Amino acid sequence: MKTSRRQFLVRFAQTASLFAAAINFPRIVWASWNTKAFTAENLNGAIAESYGDLPIIDSDALKLKAPSIAENGAVVPISVKTDLPVTNISVFVEKNPSPLACRFNIQPRMTANVSARIRMGETSNLIVLAEADGKLYRTSQEIKVTIGGCGG
């Protein structure tokens, strides 16, 4: 069976469209990555790159659950919960080479209840910032690490 020129062009256009969609799919699906915040070398730089100069308020509305002593810094389980109408929650480890450990974007229909397993290089303060209504709410806790996790 012979293929006409029209059929060939239609199939070629379909294949080219599929190829273009496949190439652009990761760019459409993957979340944006704040490279400057995740590669900042100190806590203040990471906070400034993440949030600019938003005012920070210490709050009991953020409930941080983390071990006071982590036997292995390579796997430290944490969870954060709040009833505030937050848009995102960020977790910072003060003495890590890259202080920003993780960031969660919270949609309006979501419950702000997140958990993660983070890495800690040494005993340090764990700082959680949550953005709501143009303000940053903060809670923190010191976690003692007995075996280092970031290259230790």
For residue 136 the two structure tokens come to 């940053």
Residue 141 vs residues 16, 18, 37, 112: alpha-carbon distances, Å: 54, 50, 21, 19
pLDDT of residue 33: 72
Q: Where are the alpha helices (DSSP H) in the chain?
A: 5-29, 35-39, 43-51
Q: How does pLDDT run across 17-59, given as a tens digit for each residue? A: 888 877 777 665 566 677 888 889 899 999 999 999 899 999 9
Q: Compute the C-alpha angle 48/54/56, nearest 5°.
A: 95
Q: pTM for the whole thing?
A: 0.76
Q: How does pLDDT run across 2-16, given as a tens digit for each residue? A: 878 889 999 999 999
35-145 belongs to which homologous superfamily?
SoxY domain (2.60.40.2470)
Cβ contact 126:141 at 8 Å = yes
Alpha-carbon torsion, ordered 63, 64, 65, 71, to 10 deg: -170
